[in-house]
Each structure stands twice: as C-alpha cells, then as structure tokens.
Structure 1
Amino acid sequence: MKKIFISIGILTTIVMNAQNNNEVLKKTLERQRIENNKKFDLFLSKHFESDKNPGTLKELEEQRKNLAGFDPDGKPYFYQSDDLDQIKNSNADFLQNGTITGLTGSFNGENIKYTIFDGGRAFEGHELFNNAADRVNNKEASTMNYSSHATAVTGFIGAKDYPYTLTFTNGTTRVTNLRGIAQNSTFDNYAFATTTLPGGSASSTVFEKIVLAQPKISNHSYGTNPGWSSLYGIAWIWGGQFISPGTTADLQGTYLDSDQTYDNIVYNNPTYVIVKSAGNSYGMGPTGNTLAKYYKNSAGTYVQFAATDTLPQNNCALGYDCIGFGSLAKNIIVVGASDILTASDKRYSSPSDVIKSSYSSAGPRDDGAIKPDIITTGTNVGYGSTAENTTGSSLYNVGSGTSFSGPIVTGIIGVWMQIYKQLYPALELNAASAKTLMIHSASEAGTVGPDPWNGWGYIDAKKGAELLVGKSNNTILFNDETLNNGSVNARTVKASGSEPLKVTLSWIDPEYVIPTSITWAEAYNNRTSRLINDLDVRIIDTGTGIIYQPWKLNALDPMTPATKGDNTVDNVEQVVIDNPTPGAVYRIEISHKGTLKNNASPSVTSPQNYSIIASGFSEVLGTKDAGLRKSDGITIAPTVVKDFTNVLKAPKNSTFNVYDLSGKKLQKGKINNHKEPIDLSAYTNGIYIIEIKTDKDVISKKVIKE
C-alpha cells in the first residue's frame, strides 16, 4: 500500500505542477488584457480630444477586439489576416498515398486535431469538409459571421479530395485539386479577435484562448504590419514613428511583448506547436505612386507628409527587415510564401526552383535571428470560401498570401505527429522536435544556408517522414535530451562519406522580457540578442582537430550569404560538413554559455531541454556526458526499464533528481547505497532524465521507460 500511495502522490504532484504553471500564465494573460484595455482607453481619450468625429471613434472602438499591442508612443496596432499544387510541391502526397518505405498505411490526419485561430468562424457546412461528420468545431458564438479567410485556412489543411477548375482574373483556367494536407483530420476554430466565448463571462484574447484550447498543433495566419500599409487604395499610411522633416523609426523586426507572450506560452507548454504566417508587407510603400501619404503623430492623429519631408523607405527596401512583431518569437514556427514550383513536374529539384513571392515579408529579427523559419507555396492557389454571414455557403476562389503557405506547414507537421505516434505510441513530437525535424529535412532555397527570405529552406514532407523512419531504425540520431549547467553532452560518430554530416539542434527558450515602458530608442533596430539560454553545437574532427561551427546571419548586413561562426541569437543551430572524410571520426558536442535558467521570476538555474538530429554517419561510437568523464565508475542501469533502475558506484550522500523531458522535476532523493534503486513505476512510458549530484560533479543519464 505504501508504494501505491507514493505513486499516486507523485502523479498528483506532476498534474498539479502542470496546472499551476498554466494557472499562473492565465492570470498573467488576464492582467495583460486588462492593462491593454486601459492603455487603449487612454489612447481613445487622447484621440477624442483631437478628433471629435464620432465615426472615427466608433471605428477605433470596433478595432479593440483585434488589438495586437502598442508602439512606444502608446499608439495601438491591430491584427490583420495574412493572406494539388501545394501538396505536390511539398511532397505531402507521398504521406497521403502511403508510399514512404518503412511506414505502414497512408497518413491523412486520422486522429489529429488542428486548432485554428483566424478572422472568424470557418464554415463547417462547406462541401470540402463533408467527407465525415463534425470535422469543424467552431468555438465562437454562433452570432459571429463565417469568415472566408478562416474557411480557406482550414481547407488548406483539411479539405477533402476535390478536383476543381480554377479561373484567374485574366480569364485563364487551371485544373487542380483543392484537397488539403490532412483530409481526415478534425478542427477546433477560434477567432484571433478578443471575444467572449460561449459559456464565458469575460472576454478572452487570442493568448488566453491558446491556453484554454491546449492545442498540440495550431495555425495562426494573422499578424501586424508596423511599416507602410495601404488605406483602401486611396492613401499610404506609415505605421512607425516620424518626426518632421526626416526622423524615422519603426517596429519591423522588433521582438515585442506579443513575441514574449508566445514564447512564454510554449515554454510553459512545450508540446504546443504554434505555426504563424510571416506577413505580406514586402515592398509596400509610396515610392513610385502619387497617392497621399500620412503618418500618425504621438496622439494618434493622421498627419499628411509635407512636400519637404524625407519619406521612410518602402518596407524591406534593402531586401530585408519587414516582418511585424508577433511573428518574431523564438519558440514558434514562422512561414514565408513562394510561387508555385513549376519545374520537374512540380517537384523540387534545385534551389533555383524556389522563388520567394513578391509580397512575402522578409526577416531577420533585429538581433539577426533567422526569420522566417521555413518557406512553402502560397501564391495563386485555389481555396474554399464562403459568404461572410451567419448562414455560410460553399464558394471557391484563387488567392495568395503567407496565410495560405502557413497552413501547409501546419498540416504537414500534424501528419508528422501522426507518423510519430505510429512509431512511438508513448511519445509526442513536441515543439522543439517538430522544428528540428522541419529544419533538418528542408530543401535548400535561395543562397546556401539560411537567409532572410527563405529561412532554413523549402519544407519537404517526404524527407521529414523518412527521417522519422530513420530514427526508428537507428540510421539517424533524433533525440530529445537535456543539458545540465556546466555540462558538455558529447557523442562520437563515424562519417559515412556518402552524404553531408549534418547536425541540427533546437530548444524552447525562456521568453525575453520586454521593458514595460519601452522607448523608441530601445525598440528600433535593437541588436541585443533575445536569447536567454545560449546553447552551442560543434562538430570536431578528432583526427585533425578542426572545429566546425553553425550557420549565422550578419544582423547589420543580412542579405550577404550566411557564414559559419558562433551563433548567439538563434535557438536553432545547424552544423554541416558537406564532404566529410569517409570513415573519419567526428565528435558532436553540445555545450552552453553562461548559466542556464528557467522563466521563473526571478529566474533560477535549470537544465535546458533540446532536440537534436544528426545524419550522415555510419556508426555511433559512443555517447558521453561531461560528468561521466569526470566521475569514472558512476553508472545508471538498466537504461531501458519497466519499473526500477539503479544508480551504481555513486559516493554515499550524493543526491539524485528525476526530470521529464519538459524539465519538470518529478522526484528527488539521497544515495545511501552502492546500488541505489530509483522507482519509475508511477510514470507513464517515455524518456526521463536522471541527474546525479556528487560533491564534485553533476552527471545526467537518459532512461527509457517501456
């Protein structure tokens, strides 16, 4: 009975810790919503003093529900929608048709639920979703209009097989199929606007809805445009700061509080995979046209630029830096758009096949971090639409946007989750491992290495699935691991020589905290790294001593091709040796700078979980933890268990801790025996980290419970 009591107590503690983390997060988000409402009320009062037009005030009040944040002057920004070619372009049909060697059956999103946050309700009665009952579950009130945009986004992920002839504005036609990536999946749909959900008593922001929904995989095809934007085609509006005659600042590329919030949510919920569009603002601006041009002063009043003023440059005038805040978070996946791949039967064959769409917003983040993360087709694609009323209808259209490339990536990752569940029923493809898989499997686009237009490359659904098979048959290394403070995790491999030796690492980093009263000087083009925990991956040639370093961009000149060096801004690092010596021995090392911390306030030292993929080797010769190199003889056995494992040869009075892969401490104890048992019977099947602390060292070891 005593054993059962302890097991229940441990499980209760785990559940309570998870609940407590999100309860704190919910209170933080509620406080944020209340404070933002107060800021908006203050803005309205100032605006009303200078503009007595009731229509203007009513329009601004209507926008409250789409509130995205404020600039340093207190002016509000608002969310806006970012608008079988895609299936073949991304090789997703290989998953749908069940033609991946090593996998059983086809994969069309069975038992996968996607959560959509968009401009309104998706029309659940659309004929694209009638291949099964109750596929689309709208969580908003039935009085909310159906949204064409939300219906389209849902369809890109989950529309049924539906041949259709597209008709373009110039009268030309193209026969296509509107089938989505995962035609047998289901959906929960929310609006990104701040609304009161059915059964609720208070309004909820999009962030509060994310925490409420607890999505394993979610799509967010909306964003902000803090640069130039068009006002109904009759004027250009500058969204940044302007002081006549020529002082300019803007928030393009700026990590702000909405990015902080996304990072906070994922750090507290590391199984949440959030996919977001990069935006459609590239090249926007008044250069070359005669439309009137306006900016807003500090009170929020429109002021026309004078003829003697020096206008701010068009968005991304230098080819980079026009992604809006909210799409610059570290722990989410941001998607750019390309034109349809037309060469080689619409299959990718070389980097030149990928042409960035003219509107797709470019990175990087102001500190030089790589954004967007990935690119895929989003231009001139067909989609299901609807009348925007409470009745809905089955309509069709052709359109373009990162709104339409984003859900392709979302759909593919969801299907990868389905495959992962078949291969590893007890495990989940979490946020870090999903990003690592996506980046490691991506096809080169643009210049060699990552770049501000294409991120890490063009998504390849087939290659990602093949890597999952490779994990299952041990031909690649794909693990979720933990790095302890002061440790170096190392393993030695023998290069095959038949392909590049490549290692990709990513981790869920604590949110970077933005000052509550940030100034324009602090916000504009701030190059300070937004990393909290800076992990490093290196490959060392053990024969020559040559150290190979990861890709990085130059924040001051990001259009120059990426170079290799110490990356201090990305929570993704990738090292590639294009032509390793066949049979040569290389050591992969993962280390860190400074002190690893969590996101508590104040922060405390904490292990950092990460995901790693390595490919291009014929044999793994050994795995070492830094502590094991210093404390010979201490071992943990067995490493594959049902109930118990043992700490062997540890000094008496050493201590142990047991962590899950999210970094939560599940158990602690003291070592009193030469063979100290650790009871894991209370935990679900999966991977756990056992940490041993002696008076000299900290040693960690992975244990698999089956």
Structure 2
Amino acid sequence: MRKIFIPVCTLAVITLSAQNNNESLKREFSRQNTENNERFDAYAAKLYGTERNPDVAKKIEEQRANLAGFSLNGNPYFHQSEDINQIKNSNSDFLQNGTINGLNGSFNGENIKFTVFDGGRIFGGHSLFNNAPNRITNMEASTMNYSAHATNVGGFIGAKPASLSGGGNTYNPKGIAMNSTMDSYSFQTTTLPGNASTSTVFQKILTAQPKISNHSYGTNQGWTDSDPNQPNGLVWNGNYEAGGTNIYDLQGTYYSNDQNYDQIVYNNPSYIIVKSSGNYFGMGPTGNNTPKYYKNFSVTPTQYVQFTANAANLPPNNCSLGYDCIGPGSLAKNIIVVGASDIITANDGRYTAAADVVRSSYSSAGPRDDGGIKPDITTVGTNVASGSTVEDTTGSSTYIVGSGTSYSAPVVTGIIGLWTQINKQLFNNAEFNASSAKVLTIHSASEAGNVGPDPWHGWGFINAKKGAELLVAKSNNTIIFKDEVLNSGTANRKTVTASGSEPLKVTISWIDPEYKLPAAATLTVADVYNNRASRLVNDLDLRIIDTTDNTIYYPWKLNANSPMTPATKADNTVDNVEQVVIDAPVAGRNYRIEITNKGNLVNNAGVNAPQNYSILVSGYSNEVLATQETKAASTITIAPTLTKDIVKILNAPRKAAFSVYDLSGKKLQSGTTNGDTESLDLSAFTKGIYIIEVKTEKETVSKKVIKE
C-alpha cells in the first residue's frame, strides 16, 4: 500500500459432502498451523535468543500473527497489506444509477454481504458506513485494533458518498456497493471469540463460509522493503549463496498457500475469492534509494547478512524483465487476482481504448511460472480516496488518498457483488459460483495492453456495465451463459450461427483440483523455481470449428519462456480459463463449439470424476439444434429474419406473450398473440438488429431479426 496521507435431496448430499471435506481441511490447516508455529519458535530462538525484553517479545508475536509460511531455504515469509475514479473508470455508476437497459431499479449492494480478510478490524463506526445500521460486523476479538488498511478496503467495497478536498483536488470516496454489509476478519493468525486455539486465515475462511470475500494482502518473495526485522533496508527474500551462486526465489511459484486456496474453492465452489496481485514491481537495488541491502539467511546465526558494495551477481530488481514478481498465495487457479492501473482521466473518465489503461508502476506482474495467466483482471488503484482510522480500539473517521492493488481488488469484489445482485433479480435469486463469476469477469473485460491476455493486465480492464448487459442478454436468451458438466472422453458440443455484427466469443472456466506439491521435506529447488510444468490437474480444451471449411480456432495462451511476447492462439495446457475469439466470423455461417479434455478427469482425491465448468458465448444469432434434438424443436417460427417492416410469429398458441428488444436488452414492444399468425410492424424502428421473444406455458423462443 502506498499512501499520500439442483433437487433438494441432491443439494443435501452435496452440502454434507462439502461439510465432510471441510472438516478434513480444518484438520489439515490446524496441522499446518501447529507445524509453522514450531518452525517459527526455532527461527525466533536463533534470531533473538531466549532472553527477551517485552519489546522483543511483542515483535515476535506480531511476526507470528502475520506468518504466511516458510521458503524452501527455511526463511519465514509474512502476509503484508497491499494498497469517484474507481467507480466511473469501471462503469460501475451505470449499475448504481439504474441506467442499464433491461434492468429494474438501481444496484448498490442491497442484501449482499461481503467478507473482508485484512490486517485488523474495519472501523464500522466510520461516517462512511453510517447510511444504515450494522453495516460492519467485526468477527475478531474487541481487543484487536481497528485497522486503517482494513477500513480503506471496506470503503472501496461499500462506502457512502462524501466530498473531500486535498492537495488541490476533490475526491469522492464512495464505494461500489454502498448498501451492502460486511463481515470483518483479520488475515493474521488470531484466536477468534469463543475459540480456545488460534486460527489461520485458511481456517477462518472455512469458518466464515463467504459468498464473496476480499483479500488485499500478499507475500513478497523477491526484494522487499517491508521486512519486519530490517525496517530501514531492502531484504532479498530469495536464496543467495557466497560469491553470488545459487540464486533463486519463489516469485511466480505455485506454492503451499496457492494449494490451500485452490483446495478451499474446490471443496466449496460457491466461495468467490478475490485477491490483490501485490505491489512489488521494481523493488530492488536500482529501484530504491535505501542504501542498505541484506540477504536473509536462516542457516546463519545472525540471520541477516549485508551485501558488500561489490557483491557478485546481485539479484536484479523484481520484475526486471517486465514480468514474474507475483508472490505465492496470489497464483492460485481458482481465485480472481487483481492488478492495479492508473486513473483514466481522459474521455471524462471513461474507457475508450486499450491505451487508456496504464499499469501502475508498482503493480506486480505475472504470469505463474508455468505460464498461467495472473493477474486475472485489472482496475484502477492509484491515487484514490477512502476512509481510514486511527489504529486503536476506539477508532476514528479519517480519510486518505492512496495507491495499491489493495485498493483495486475491492473494486472488483464490489462489482462481482453488484453482478450477483442483478443475477438474483433476473434468475430467481440464483447466485454465482467461483467459475461463473470468473467467466463473467473475463468475458466482459475491456482490452488492455497487448491484444489478448498479458502478464500486466491479465484478461483486461474490468467493465461493470458490460457484465450487467451480458446478464440481461442471458435473460433474453441472446447469449449462452450457464454451468455444464464434462464427462471424461466425451465431447460437449453446440453449434451456433454467427451474427457477423460482432466477434464470436466463447469463454469457459472450471474449478480445478488443487495441484499437490511434494511434501515440504522433499521439495527441491527444481520443484519450485521457474518450474514450467503445468499446475493444471484437469486440462479442458475449448475449440471453435467452422462447419463450412473445418477451420479450427484455438484459445489464447502465453509463452512461459517469453511472456511479454503477445499472446498467441494455440493449445492451452496451463490455464483453467480458455477463451476463443473469432474477430470477423462470416454472418449466417454455422460454427461448432467443442469442449473436450486430455487424459482422465479426476477429483481432488485423484478419483475419476466429471468436471463442472461455466461457459459464456456471445456473437451469435441462433443456436442450431443437434440432430438428436430435432424432434423436440419448437413449431413456433419467427420470420422473415431480414425485413423492412413486417415480421410474423407463426404457429404460436393463442395468447402467447411476445416482446421485442433491442440489443441492449431494452424492451420496445410487447403483447399477446391472437391466432396462429401474428404480424409485428417494425417500420417505426431504426435500422439494426432486434430480438423477438415468444413465451408460452411450455417454452420460450427467441430470434434475432435484422431491420433494413
């Protein structure tokens, strides 16, 4: 952070299974906690000895609370916090103000609860949260201090509007979902009220059972200026042996914390976890004026050894090649990782082109070492205002203007909350799961950086308005957005007719079983340092095939060995998101979408099992029924599909409801049929594409028509 100042009986079986799996997970996380405490005790004894004054004892316990794990060389590493432009830049105001065609009312997080895991308690008494009672529920002990950072993060999710001035600028700290509620936990290892033993953040996630949670913290495995034992110097968290040999680090490494996050989401697919990518880009000897450089050795009595002025092969700055400085814990497959960009000031704060999005200088870049795309998404996080507080048990209503991926992550969290609210309105209170939330986030993203995904911006810049419009389109049956099941060795296929008016675009995502690392005692450098072996367990494949000439279109992928090179389209074996885009499909031509898999699909116990996934398809005018579905096809016909004035509804039952929509989802005309043939006059409409929907008691039929 940088500051300026399914049937019920089936559901019961699934719920019971998740509970059993979570009990097993709780035992595993408890074992990890015990083991890490023992290792930390040994570390502290080596560093501080056994004679400790009260200040040293307090420092040790603070470090213990923030302990995230241990590197391969035995060094402990620690969680650390990572810090009305964010609203307008992301187009969230269209949702807040109720100006999305096809939706009823405005969306500000009503009846949506977020769970925030941060560096302490959110100050719920802040004036930015007083627009409704009990908006913030603190789940930690009342003896824990309120946290300025946690209050910042809570504000980006859901602060009410305010007018602030400072440095010659005017700021509005309004959050994304100002009528939402939040449960506040610390990411530190603490004893929760009513518990006898401590809980790590992973144990707390299982306790909280969050629908949507924000995690604005991370670990830095390269050069850091936040080492708790060397506050006035840069510390190299990687390995460095005498003479500048055997230099390696865990930047980009899928590690134990990533395994934990993935396992949690696999066992609990309704948990949507949003996490910051980190603020570590550029830290290092030539990127910081701090004169003291240290190497962190757990094998030496002094622990910290200062580099000499002419140290051989001094490790380079983080992301010195432009990539590879996201730390473990923000590289998991099943979570949404967020990078930060500068504020868009041109175009009245609106995105117009990829060049509008500028990566913030500090925002950590991916990809994962196997080439997996991280971050997943980007939004503004620099020079943005939020509420703050004095860090004590009383709290206060103060404000800051700051920068960090800590601030971009909760913007994405809030937007997913608003999309959830819209989804519940449109689809009988239905909620997203982790894969459907990621599909919608990625499919609706605006291009940023290189064409396709890249290590700086992920899949692009979040677009709240586009995501909402896709949900409206789903309700109008003009896109495909649903959850499906893939059985191993059996292809799932669907054929669509391209509209030709926009790219044909298909995105899938699945909750992949956690990649199981070797046991800590047997881990080697080769296992973890720049290991290009895929961390996927189930490798699904998405393809689009032109049914006329059999051209095969492949998904985006990055080159793990040259990730700054623009993404190409080829077989992707590392991401649990695949997206295929045909920029200029032939209008009226049929394209077949195929989802298959390599090898055998398994669950996270290694047993053969089908794989669920989410899919979103846009840019088509009609879904073509498969041969086996022909007999079940509707007799209702909407024709012609190209007209200057009249379109007819044929073979519909009497009093069937019909509606006419534009492509934004706005309803333009409605009525009921009076017989077998109903004529609709479109002569008063402007030239363009319209959707005619017919609903009966048994079915809903929709068709796109072109008005000349």
Determine if the TM-score, normalized by the shorter chain, exceeds 0.5: yes
How many pairs were matched up? 620
Q: RMSD between aligned alpha carbons?
A: 2.2
- Decide whether aligned partners of structure 1 residues 71 and 51 sit closer, same or farther in structure 2, where only a CA change above 3 A counts: farther
Does the 8 Å contact 1:44/1:57 carry over to 2? no
Does 1:534 find its partner at 2:535?
no
- Decide whether aligned partners of structure 1 residues 51 and 356 sit closer, same or farther in structure 2, where only a CA change above 3 A counts: farther
Does the 8 Å contact 2:486/2:596 carry over to 1? yes
Does the 8 Å contact 1:336/1:402 carry over to 2? yes
Q: Which moved more, 1:417-426 or 1:208-217?
A: 417-426
Cα distance in 1 between the residues matched to 2:264 and 2:251 = 23
Does 1:403 find its partner at 2:406?
yes
Letter in 2 for 1:305: F
| Post-superposition CA distance 1:425-455 (Å, at most 9, x none) | 2522110000000000000000100000000
The alpha-carbon deviation at position 52 of structure 1 amounts to 8.8
2:240 to 239, 242, 255: 242
Match for residue 135 of structure 1? 135
Letter in 2 for 1:131: N
Match for residue 16 of structure 1? 16
- Decide whether aligned partners of structure 1 residues 10 and 266 sit closer, same or farther in structure 2, where only a CA change above 3 A counts: closer
Cα distance in 2 between the residues matched to 1:62 and 1:399 = 25
Match for residue 153 of structure 1? 153
| Post-superposition CA distance 1:348-399 (Å, at most 9, x none) | 0000000000000000000000000000000000110100011100001110
Letter in 2 for 1:433: S
Does 1:469 find its partner at 2:472?
yes
Does the 8 Å contact 2:540/2:597 carry over to 1? yes
Cα distance in 1 between the residues matched to 2:594 and 2:349 = 39
| Post-superposition CA distance 1:394-420 (Å, at most 9, x none) | 001110000000000000001100000
Cα distance in 2 between the residues matched to 1:319 and 1:583 = 43
The alpha-carbon deviation at position 540 of structure 1 amounts to 0.4
Cα distance in 2 between the residues matched to 1:609 and 1:270 = 10
Cα distance in 2 between the residues matched to 1:316 and 1:555 = 14
Does the 8 Å contact 2:340/2:379 carry over to 1? yes
Cα distance in 2 between the residues matched to 1:362 and 1:563 = 19
| Post-superposition CA distance 1:235-260 (Å, at most 9, x none) | 21101000121221000000001000
Does the 8 Å contact 1:48/1:57 carry over to 2? no
Match for residue 674 of structure 1? none
Match for residue 415 of structure 2? 412
- Decide whether aligned partners of structure 1 residues 454 and 236 sit closer, same or farther in structure 2, where only a CA change above 3 A counts: same
Match for residue 230 of structure 1? 225
Q: Which moved more, 1:610-619 or 1:156-165?
A: 156-165
Cα distance in 2 between the residues matched to 1:225 and 1:586 = 45
Does the 8 Å contact 2:234/2:290 carry over to 1? no
Letter in 2 for 1:562: A
| Post-superposition CA distance 1:647-680 (Å, at most 9, x none) | xxxxxxxxxxxxxxxxxxxxxxxxxxxxxxxxxx
- Decide whether aligned partners of structure 1 residues 535 and 12 sit closer, same or farther in structure 2, where only a CA change above 3 A counts: closer
Letter in 2 for 1:534: D
Cα distance in 2 between the residues matched to 1:622 and 1:27 = 49
Q: Which moved more, 1:47-56 or 1:541-550?
A: 47-56
Does 1:486 find its partner at 2:489?
yes
Equivalent residues in 2 for 1:186-335, closer than 5 Å: 186-230=181-225, 234-247=232-245, 248-287=247-286, 289=289, 291-299=291-299, 301-306=303-308, 307-335=310-338
Match for residue 448 of structure 2? 445
Q: Which moved more, 1:10-19 or 1:255-264?
A: 10-19
Match for residue 613 of structure 1? 616
Cα distance in 2 between the residues matched to 1:334 and 1:18 = 24
SS of match in other structure, 2:367: coil
1:576 to 554, 573, 581: 581
1:388 to 386, 391, 399: 391
Does 1:508 find its partner at 2:511?
yes
Q: Which moved more, 1:148-157 or 1:510-519?
A: 510-519
Does 1:560 find its partner at 2:565?
yes
SS of match in other structure, 1:397: strand
Cα distance in 2 between the residues matched to 1:61 and 1:418 = 41
Does the 8 Å contact 1:43/1:299 carry over to 2? no
Match for residue 681 of structure 2? none
- Decide whether aligned partners of structure 1 residues 79 and 290 sit closer, same or farther in structure 2, where only a CA change above 3 A counts: closer
Letter in 2 for 1:329: A
- Taking structure 1 as the reference length, the TM-score comes to 0.85
Cα distance in 2 between the residues matched to 1:263 and 1:290 = 37
SS of match in other structure, 2:625: strand
The alpha-carbon deviation at position 62 of structure 1 amounts to 2.6
The alpha-carbon deviation at position 57 of structure 1 amounts to 6.6
1:360 to 353, 359, 363: 363
Q: Which moved more, 1:142-151 or 1:239-248?
A: 239-248
Structure 1 stretches lacking a partner, 5+ long: 1-6, 637-702
The alpha-carbon deviation at position 520 of structure 1 amounts to 2.3
SS of match in other structure, 1:189: strand
| Identical-residue share of aligned pairs (%) | 64
Letter in 2 for 1:64: R
Does the 8 Å contact 1:46/1:299 carry over to 2? no
- Taking structure 2 as the reference length, the TM-score comes to 0.85
| Post-superposition CA distance 1:563-593 (Å, at most 9, x none) | 0100000000000000111111100000000
- Decide whether aligned partners of structure 1 residues 121 and 53 sit closer, same or farther in structure 2, where only a CA change above 3 A counts: closer
| Post-superposition CA distance 1:152-173 (Å, at most 9, x none) | 10000110122222x1xxxx32
Does the 8 Å contact 2:98/2:104 carry over to 1? yes
Cα distance in 2 between the residues matched to 1:290 and 1:339 = 25
Cα distance in 1 between the residues matched to 2:11 and 2:463 = 39
| Post-superposition CA distance 1:96-126 (Å, at most 9, x none) | 0111111111100000000000000011100
Match for residue 65 of structure 2? 65
The alpha-carbon deviation at position 59 of structure 1 amounts to 2.6
Cα distance in 1 between the residues matched to 2:541 and 2:8 = 39
Cα distance in 2 between the residues matched to 1:142 and 1:173 = 38
Letter in 1 for 2:418: V
Cα distance in 1 between the residues matched to 2:584 and 2:463 = 23
| Post-superposition CA distance 1:492-528 (Å, at most 9, x none) | 0110110000000100000001112222232111111
- Decide whether aligned partners of structure 1 residues 141 and 50 sit closer, same or farther in structure 2, where only a CA change above 3 A counts: closer
The alpha-carbon deviation at position 33 of structure 1 amounts to 1.2
- Decide whether aligned partners of structure 1 residues 54 and 285 sit closer, same or farther in structure 2, where only a CA change above 3 A counts: farther
- Decide whether aligned partners of structure 1 residues 443 and 12 sit closer, same or farther in structure 2, where only a CA change above 3 A counts: closer
Cα distance in 2 between the residues matched to 1:235 and 1:18 = 46
Does the 8 Å contact 2:85/2:343 carry over to 1? yes
Does 1:339 find its partner at 2:334?
no
Cα distance in 2 between the residues matched to 1:233 and 1:428 = 44
The alpha-carbon deviation at position 234 of structure 1 amounts to 3.0
The alpha-carbon deviation at position 42 of structure 1 amounts to 2.9
SS of match in other structure, 1:537: strand
Cα distance in 1 between the residues matched to 2:36 and 2:410 = 29
Does the 8 Å contact 2:497/2:623 carry over to 1? yes
Letter in 2 for 1:179: K
Letter in 1 for 2:168: T
Cα distance in 1 between the residues matched to 2:217 and 2:153 = 11
Letter in 1 for 2:71: D
Does the 8 Å contact 2:423/2:429 carry over to 1? no
- Decide whether aligned partners of structure 1 residues 426 and 230 sit closer, same or farther in structure 2, where only a CA change above 3 A counts: closer
Letter in 1 for 2:411: I
Q: Which moved more, 1:323-332 or 1:240-249?
A: 240-249
Letter in 1 for 2:584: N
Does the 8 Å contact 2:43/2:298 carry over to 1? no
SS of match in other structure, 1:576: strand
Cα distance in 2 between the residues matched to 1:565 and 1:11 = 38
1:545 to 541, 547, 550: 550
Match for residue 665 of structure 1? none
The alpha-carbon deviation at position 292 of structure 1 amounts to 1.6
Cα distance in 2 between the residues matched to 1:51 and 1:226 = 30
SS of match in other structure, 2:74: coil
